Chains A and B, each alone.
Chain A
Amino acid sequence: MLESILKPWPWYVAGPLIGLIVPALLILGNKSFGISSSFRHVCAACMPSNIPFFKYDWKKERWNLFFVAGITAGGFIAMNLLTVATKVDINPSLATSLNVNGITDFSGLVPADLFNWNSLFTLRGFVMMIVGGFFVGFGTRYAGGCTSGHAIMGLSTLQLPSLIATCCFMAGGFIMANVILPYILSL
Protein backbone atom coordinates (compact mmCIF):
# COMPACT_ATOMS: atom_id res chain seq x y z
CA MET A 1 0.00 0.00 0.00
CA LEU A 2 2.63 2.49 1.12
CA GLU A 3 4.83 1.46 -1.78
CA SER A 4 2.11 2.19 -4.34
CA ILE A 5 1.55 5.64 -2.79
CA LEU A 6 5.25 6.45 -3.10
CA LYS A 7 5.36 5.43 -6.76
CA PRO A 8 3.79 7.63 -9.49
CA TRP A 9 0.01 7.20 -9.59
CA PRO A 10 -1.62 5.80 -12.73
CA TRP A 11 -4.17 7.88 -14.66
CA TYR A 12 -7.10 5.68 -13.63
CA VAL A 13 -6.45 6.56 -9.97
CA ALA A 14 -5.62 10.25 -10.40
CA GLY A 15 -8.31 11.12 -12.97
CA PRO A 16 -11.35 9.93 -10.98
CA LEU A 17 -9.94 11.55 -7.81
CA ILE A 18 -9.65 14.90 -9.64
CA GLY A 19 -13.21 14.40 -10.93
CA LEU A 20 -14.44 14.02 -7.34
CA ILE A 21 -13.18 17.50 -6.48
CA VAL A 22 -16.07 18.88 -8.56
CA PRO A 23 -18.88 17.50 -6.31
CA ALA A 24 -16.75 17.99 -3.20
CA LEU A 25 -16.49 21.77 -3.73
CA LEU A 26 -20.16 22.02 -4.65
CA ILE A 27 -21.26 20.13 -1.56
CA LEU A 28 -18.83 21.91 0.77
CA GLY A 29 -20.15 25.33 -0.12
CA ASN A 30 -21.61 25.81 -3.61
CA LYS A 31 -18.22 26.54 -5.16
CA SER A 32 -17.48 25.89 -8.84
CA PHE A 33 -14.09 24.27 -9.39
CA GLY A 34 -11.43 26.47 -11.01
CA ILE A 35 -7.97 27.85 -10.46
CA SER A 36 -7.19 30.66 -12.90
CA SER A 37 -9.70 32.99 -11.19
CA SER A 38 -7.25 33.21 -8.31
CA PHE A 39 -4.98 35.35 -10.54
CA ARG A 40 -7.84 37.79 -11.00
CA HIS A 41 -8.59 37.90 -7.29
CA VAL A 42 -4.94 38.77 -6.62
CA CYS A 43 -5.26 41.62 -9.13
CA ALA A 44 -8.52 42.74 -7.52
CA ALA A 45 -6.99 42.62 -4.05
CA CYS A 46 -3.55 44.09 -4.77
CA MET A 47 -3.72 46.31 -7.84
CA PRO A 48 -7.29 47.00 -8.99
CA SER A 49 -6.04 50.31 -10.50
CA ASN A 50 -9.63 51.49 -11.01
CA ILE A 51 -10.14 48.92 -13.79
CA PRO A 52 -13.83 47.90 -13.88
CA PHE A 53 -12.90 44.22 -14.39
CA PHE A 54 -11.20 44.20 -10.99
CA LYS A 55 -13.81 46.23 -9.12
CA TYR A 56 -15.74 43.58 -7.23
CA ASP A 57 -15.77 42.22 -3.72
CA TRP A 58 -12.84 39.77 -4.01
CA LYS A 59 -13.37 38.70 -0.40
CA LYS A 60 -16.45 36.79 -1.58
CA GLU A 61 -14.06 34.66 -3.60
CA ARG A 62 -11.33 34.29 -1.01
CA TRP A 63 -12.15 30.58 -0.73
CA ASN A 64 -10.32 30.30 -4.07
CA LEU A 65 -7.17 31.80 -2.57
CA PHE A 66 -7.36 29.32 0.31
CA PHE A 67 -7.78 26.59 -2.30
CA VAL A 68 -4.65 27.53 -4.29
CA ALA A 69 -2.64 27.96 -1.08
CA GLY A 70 -3.66 24.38 -0.31
CA ILE A 71 -2.51 23.23 -3.77
CA THR A 72 0.91 24.75 -3.11
CA ALA A 73 1.10 22.99 0.26
CA GLY A 74 -0.07 19.75 -1.37
CA GLY A 75 2.76 20.01 -3.89
CA PHE A 76 5.23 20.36 -1.02
CA ILE A 77 3.77 17.43 0.91
CA ALA A 78 3.65 15.14 -2.11
CA MET A 79 7.22 15.86 -3.15
CA ASN A 80 8.80 15.78 0.32
CA LEU A 81 6.80 13.15 2.18
CA LEU A 82 5.12 10.94 -0.40
CA THR A 83 7.75 10.48 -3.09
CA VAL A 84 10.88 8.42 -3.47
CA ALA A 85 13.36 9.71 -6.02
CA THR A 86 12.68 7.99 -9.31
CA LYS A 87 13.54 8.92 -12.84
CA VAL A 88 10.56 10.21 -14.81
CA ASP A 89 9.72 7.59 -17.38
CA ILE A 90 9.83 9.38 -20.73
CA ASN A 91 8.82 8.37 -24.21
CA PRO A 92 12.12 7.56 -25.98
CA SER A 93 11.34 9.67 -29.05
CA LEU A 94 10.66 12.71 -26.84
CA ALA A 95 13.95 12.10 -25.03
CA THR A 96 15.81 11.86 -28.35
CA SER A 97 14.36 15.10 -29.70
CA LEU A 98 15.05 16.95 -26.42
CA ASN A 99 18.64 15.68 -26.35
CA VAL A 100 19.24 17.61 -29.57
CA ASN A 101 18.53 20.84 -27.68
CA GLY A 102 20.78 19.96 -24.78
CA ILE A 103 18.03 18.75 -22.45
CA THR A 104 19.52 15.66 -20.89
CA ASP A 105 18.39 15.83 -17.25
CA PHE A 106 15.20 13.79 -16.92
CA SER A 107 15.50 13.24 -13.18
CA GLY A 108 12.81 15.69 -12.07
CA LEU A 109 9.25 16.54 -13.02
CA VAL A 110 10.43 19.95 -14.20
CA PRO A 111 13.39 19.84 -16.59
CA ALA A 112 16.28 21.36 -14.64
CA ASP A 113 18.02 22.29 -17.91
CA LEU A 114 15.18 24.63 -18.86
CA PHE A 115 13.64 25.95 -15.66
CA ASN A 116 16.18 27.37 -13.24
CA TRP A 117 17.08 30.81 -11.87
CA ASN A 118 20.17 31.15 -14.05
CA SER A 119 18.40 30.46 -17.32
CA LEU A 120 15.72 33.03 -16.45
CA PHE A 121 18.04 35.68 -17.91
CA THR A 122 18.66 33.85 -21.18
CA LEU A 123 16.37 34.40 -24.17
CA ARG A 124 15.14 30.80 -24.04
CA GLY A 125 14.45 30.95 -20.31
CA PHE A 126 12.72 34.32 -20.62
CA VAL A 127 10.39 33.06 -23.35
CA MET A 128 9.63 29.78 -21.61
CA MET A 129 9.07 31.06 -18.09
CA ILE A 130 7.96 34.67 -18.41
CA VAL A 131 6.26 34.86 -21.81
CA GLY A 132 4.75 31.40 -21.28
CA GLY A 133 3.39 32.39 -17.87
CA PHE A 134 1.99 35.63 -19.28
CA PHE A 135 0.13 33.69 -22.00
CA VAL A 136 -1.30 31.35 -19.36
CA GLY A 137 -2.66 34.25 -17.30
CA PHE A 138 -3.89 36.33 -20.25
CA GLY A 139 -5.32 33.39 -22.19
CA THR A 140 -7.17 31.73 -19.33
CA ARG A 141 -8.96 34.93 -18.36
CA TYR A 142 -9.78 35.79 -21.98
CA ALA A 143 -11.15 32.25 -22.40
CA GLY A 144 -13.00 32.50 -19.09
CA GLY A 145 -11.35 29.49 -17.48
CA CYS A 146 -8.45 27.06 -17.53
CA THR A 147 -8.14 23.30 -17.65
CA SER A 148 -9.91 23.05 -14.29
CA GLY A 149 -12.67 25.58 -14.97
CA HIS A 150 -13.47 24.75 -18.58
CA ALA A 151 -12.12 21.25 -19.27
CA ILE A 152 -13.23 19.71 -15.98
CA MET A 153 -15.94 21.87 -14.35
CA GLY A 154 -17.42 23.18 -17.60
CA LEU A 155 -17.49 19.79 -19.34
CA SER A 156 -18.88 18.16 -16.18
CA THR A 157 -21.85 20.52 -16.41
CA LEU A 158 -22.13 19.85 -20.17
CA GLN A 159 -21.50 23.39 -21.35
CA LEU A 160 -20.79 23.92 -25.04
CA PRO A 161 -18.59 27.04 -24.53
CA SER A 162 -16.32 24.92 -22.34
CA LEU A 163 -16.02 22.26 -25.03
CA ILE A 164 -15.05 24.95 -27.55
CA ALA A 165 -12.53 26.41 -25.11
CA THR A 166 -11.05 22.98 -24.34
CA CYS A 167 -10.62 22.24 -28.05
CA CYS A 168 -8.84 25.60 -28.47
CA PHE A 169 -6.56 24.86 -25.47
CA MET A 170 -5.55 21.63 -27.17
CA ALA A 171 -5.13 23.30 -30.59
CA GLY A 172 -2.88 25.99 -29.08
CA GLY A 173 -0.88 23.33 -27.26
CA PHE A 174 -0.42 21.20 -30.38
CA ILE A 175 0.75 24.22 -32.39
CA MET A 176 3.22 25.26 -29.69
CA ALA A 177 4.65 21.81 -28.89
CA ASN A 178 5.02 20.67 -32.49
CA VAL A 179 5.58 23.83 -34.53
CA ILE A 180 6.90 26.70 -32.40
CA LEU A 181 8.60 25.09 -29.40
CA PRO A 182 11.37 23.38 -31.43
CA TYR A 183 12.55 26.89 -32.42
CA ILE A 184 12.33 28.21 -28.87
CA LEU A 185 14.27 25.22 -27.53
CA SER A 186 17.03 25.83 -30.05
CA LEU A 187 17.52 29.46 -28.91
Chain B
Amino acid sequence: MKSEVAIEKEQNTDFETRSLDTICVNESHLEHSWVHNIKYSLMGIVFGIILVKAEVISWFRIQEMFRLQSFHMYGIIGSAVAVGILSVWLIRKFKIKTIYGEEITLHPKEFNKGQIWGGLIFGLGWATTGACPGPLFATIGSGATVIVVSLLSAIAGTWVYGKFRDKLPH
Protein backbone atom coordinates (compact mmCIF):
# COMPACT_ATOMS: atom_id res chain seq x y z
CA MET B 1 0.00 0.00 0.00
CA LYS B 2 2.74 2.36 0.98
CA SER B 3 4.70 1.70 -2.20
CA GLU B 4 1.58 2.39 -4.30
CA VAL B 5 1.32 5.86 -2.78
CA ALA B 6 4.98 6.44 -3.52
CA ILE B 7 4.51 5.47 -7.15
CA GLU B 8 1.50 7.75 -7.46
CA LYS B 9 3.53 10.63 -6.07
CA GLU B 10 6.40 9.96 -8.44
CA GLN B 11 4.04 9.96 -11.42
CA ASN B 12 2.55 13.25 -10.34
CA THR B 13 5.98 14.81 -10.05
CA ASP B 14 6.87 13.58 -13.50
CA PHE B 15 3.69 15.13 -14.92
CA GLU B 16 4.51 18.39 -13.15
CA THR B 17 7.94 18.50 -14.77
CA ARG B 18 6.66 17.40 -18.17
CA SER B 19 3.87 19.98 -18.18
CA LEU B 20 6.19 22.79 -17.06
CA ASP B 21 6.33 25.66 -19.58
CA THR B 22 4.18 23.91 -22.13
CA ILE B 23 0.63 23.83 -23.40
CA CYS B 24 1.25 20.71 -25.38
CA VAL B 25 1.25 17.72 -23.09
CA ASN B 26 0.08 14.13 -23.01
CA GLU B 27 -2.81 14.19 -20.54
CA SER B 28 -3.58 10.51 -20.96
CA HIS B 29 -2.83 8.04 -18.18
CA LEU B 30 -3.04 5.08 -20.52
CA GLU B 31 0.05 3.36 -21.79
CA HIS B 32 0.18 1.74 -25.18
CA SER B 33 2.80 0.12 -27.32
CA TRP B 34 4.54 2.53 -29.69
CA VAL B 35 2.40 1.29 -32.62
CA HIS B 36 -0.47 3.41 -31.29
CA ASN B 37 1.64 6.49 -31.98
CA ILE B 38 1.39 5.96 -35.72
CA LYS B 39 -1.97 7.73 -35.72
CA TYR B 40 -0.20 10.89 -34.55
CA SER B 41 2.21 10.58 -37.46
CA LEU B 42 -0.80 10.42 -39.78
CA MET B 43 -2.18 13.59 -38.17
CA GLY B 44 1.26 15.15 -38.61
CA ILE B 45 1.22 14.26 -42.31
CA VAL B 46 -2.14 15.99 -42.69
CA PHE B 47 -0.85 19.05 -40.83
CA GLY B 48 2.38 19.12 -42.85
CA ILE B 49 0.45 18.98 -46.13
CA ILE B 50 -1.79 21.88 -45.03
CA LEU B 51 1.24 23.96 -43.97
CA VAL B 52 2.82 23.56 -47.41
CA LYS B 53 -0.34 23.81 -49.53
CA ALA B 54 -1.55 26.96 -47.75
CA GLU B 55 1.98 28.43 -48.02
CA VAL B 56 2.23 28.85 -44.24
CA ILE B 57 5.84 27.70 -44.57
CA SER B 58 6.55 30.55 -46.97
CA TRP B 59 8.97 33.15 -45.66
CA PHE B 60 7.24 35.63 -47.98
CA ARG B 61 3.79 34.99 -46.45
CA ILE B 62 5.20 35.59 -42.96
CA GLN B 63 6.79 38.87 -44.07
CA GLU B 64 3.47 39.95 -45.62
CA MET B 65 1.71 39.16 -42.35
CA PHE B 66 4.08 41.24 -40.23
CA ARG B 67 4.07 44.07 -42.76
CA LEU B 68 0.24 44.02 -42.99
CA GLN B 69 0.45 43.37 -46.72
CA SER B 70 -1.80 40.34 -46.85
CA PHE B 71 -4.81 38.93 -45.00
CA HIS B 72 -3.86 35.30 -45.74
CA MET B 73 -2.09 34.35 -42.47
CA TYR B 74 -4.60 36.27 -40.32
CA GLY B 75 -7.40 34.37 -42.06
CA ILE B 76 -5.70 31.03 -41.40
CA ILE B 77 -4.93 31.61 -37.72
CA GLY B 78 -8.28 33.32 -37.09
CA SER B 79 -10.40 30.59 -38.67
CA ALA B 80 -8.30 27.84 -37.05
CA VAL B 81 -8.92 29.39 -33.62
CA ALA B 82 -12.64 29.78 -34.34
CA VAL B 83 -12.95 26.11 -35.29
CA GLY B 84 -10.78 25.15 -32.29
CA ILE B 85 -12.95 27.11 -29.82
CA LEU B 86 -16.12 25.57 -31.22
CA SER B 87 -14.64 22.05 -31.13
CA VAL B 88 -13.41 22.32 -27.54
CA TRP B 89 -16.78 23.76 -26.51
CA LEU B 90 -18.56 20.79 -28.13
CA ILE B 91 -16.18 18.31 -26.49
CA ARG B 92 -16.90 19.85 -23.08
CA LYS B 93 -20.63 20.22 -23.62
CA PHE B 94 -21.21 16.65 -24.76
CA LYS B 95 -18.41 15.22 -22.56
CA ILE B 96 -16.91 13.52 -25.59
CA LYS B 97 -14.38 10.86 -24.66
CA THR B 98 -11.26 9.65 -26.42
CA ILE B 99 -11.38 6.63 -28.71
CA TYR B 100 -10.07 4.65 -25.70
CA GLY B 101 -13.02 5.79 -23.60
CA GLU B 102 -10.89 8.10 -21.47
CA GLU B 103 -12.24 11.44 -20.29
CA ILE B 104 -10.67 14.41 -22.09
CA THR B 105 -8.80 16.63 -19.65
CA LEU B 106 -7.27 20.08 -20.12
CA HIS B 107 -5.06 21.70 -17.51
CA PRO B 108 -5.30 25.51 -17.65
CA LYS B 109 -2.01 27.40 -17.57
CA GLU B 110 -1.11 30.21 -15.23
CA PHE B 111 0.33 33.53 -16.28
CA ASN B 112 4.03 34.20 -15.84
CA LYS B 113 6.38 36.80 -17.30
CA GLY B 114 7.86 34.17 -19.58
CA GLN B 115 4.85 34.52 -21.84
CA ILE B 116 5.85 38.15 -22.42
CA TRP B 117 9.65 37.89 -22.69
CA GLY B 118 9.67 34.50 -24.34
CA GLY B 119 6.85 35.56 -26.63
CA LEU B 120 8.78 38.61 -27.82
CA ILE B 121 11.96 36.58 -28.39
CA PHE B 122 10.05 33.94 -30.34
CA GLY B 123 8.38 36.69 -32.40
CA LEU B 124 11.79 38.06 -33.37
CA GLY B 125 12.90 34.59 -34.45
CA TRP B 126 9.65 33.85 -36.28
CA ALA B 127 9.96 36.94 -38.48
CA THR B 128 13.63 36.19 -39.19
CA THR B 129 13.45 32.52 -40.15
CA GLY B 130 9.89 32.88 -41.47
CA ALA B 131 9.05 29.69 -39.64
CA CYS B 132 7.51 28.78 -36.35
CA PRO B 133 8.23 25.25 -35.06
CA GLY B 134 5.63 23.38 -37.17
CA PRO B 135 6.75 24.95 -40.46
CA LEU B 136 10.41 24.26 -39.55
CA PHE B 137 9.67 20.53 -39.86
CA ALA B 138 7.45 20.91 -42.94
CA THR B 139 10.04 23.13 -44.68
CA ILE B 140 12.73 20.49 -44.20
CA GLY B 141 10.38 17.85 -45.61
CA SER B 142 9.59 20.06 -48.58
CA GLY B 143 13.24 19.94 -49.58
CA ALA B 144 14.90 23.02 -48.05
CA THR B 145 17.55 20.89 -46.34
CA VAL B 146 19.51 23.84 -44.95
CA ILE B 147 16.64 24.47 -42.51
CA VAL B 148 17.92 21.41 -40.60
CA VAL B 149 20.52 23.85 -39.26
CA SER B 150 17.75 26.18 -38.01
CA LEU B 151 16.02 23.21 -36.39
CA LEU B 152 19.20 22.13 -34.59
CA SER B 153 19.71 25.73 -33.51
CA ALA B 154 16.15 25.82 -32.14
CA ILE B 155 16.84 22.65 -30.15
CA ALA B 156 20.02 24.28 -28.85
CA GLY B 157 17.97 27.35 -27.88
CA THR B 158 15.58 25.15 -25.92
CA TRP B 159 18.51 23.48 -24.18
CA VAL B 160 20.04 26.83 -23.20
CA TYR B 161 16.65 27.92 -21.85
CA GLY B 162 16.46 24.75 -19.75
CA LYS B 163 19.98 25.33 -18.47
CA PHE B 164 19.34 28.92 -17.34
CA ARG B 165 15.65 28.63 -16.55
CA ASP B 166 16.06 29.38 -12.84
CA LYS B 167 17.95 32.59 -13.52
CA LEU B 168 15.32 34.05 -15.88
CA PRO B 169 12.38 36.18 -14.72
CA HIS B 170 9.12 34.24 -14.55
Q: Chain B contact residues: over half helix, strand or loop, or mixed?
A: helix
**If the complex has contacts A11-B79, A93-B69, are A83 and B99 also in contact, measured as CB distance less than 8 A?**
no
Which chain B positions have C-beta within 8 A of A134?
A: 125, 153-154, 156-157, 160
Against A, the Cβ 8 Å flags (1 = close, 0 = not) of B120-143 are: 111111111111111011111111
B164 to chain A, nearest CB (A): 9
Question: Chain B residue with minimal CB distance to A135?
Answer: B125
CB-based contact A148/B24 at 8 Å: yes
Chain B contact residue count (CB 8 A cutoff): 132
Q: Is the CB of A73 within 8 A of B45?
A: yes
B-contact 0/1 string along A1-35, CB 8 Å cutoff: 00001001111111111111111111111111111
A71 touches B134 (CB 8 A): yes
The reply to whether A26 and B104 contact each other, CB–CB distance below 8 Å, is yes
A29 & B98 in contact (Cβ 8 Å cutoff): yes
CB of A85 closer than 8 Å to a CB of B: no
Q: Which residue of A47, A91, A143 contacts B70 across the interface (Cβ within 8 Å)?
A: A91
Per-residue CB contact flags for chain A residues 29-52 toward chain B (1 = under 8 Å, else 0) read: 111111111111011000101011
Within 8 A of A (CB), among B76-112: 76-88, 90-91, 96-100, 102, 104-106, 108-112
- The answer to whether the Cβ of A122 comes within 8 Å of any Cβ in the partner chain is no
The answer on a CB contact under 8 Å between A142 and B121 is yes
A-B pair number, CB within 8 angstroms = 563
Q: How far is the CA of A68 from the CA of B168 in the complex (A)?
A: 28
A30-B26, A43-B158, A171-B123 given as contacts; is B138 within 8 A of A74 (CB)? yes
Interface residues of B in 17-34 (CB under 8 A from A): 17-18, 20-28, 30, 34
B137 CB contacts on chain A under 8 angstroms: 35, 68, 71-72, 75
B22 contacts A145, CB within 8 Å? yes
Closest Cβ of chain B to A115, distance in Å, is 6
Chain A: residues with CB nearer than 8 A to chain B? 5, 8-40, 42-43, 47, 49, 51-57, 60-64, 66-80, 82-83, 88, 90-91, 93-94, 98, 106, 108-111, 114-117, 120, 127-162, 164-178, 180-181, 184
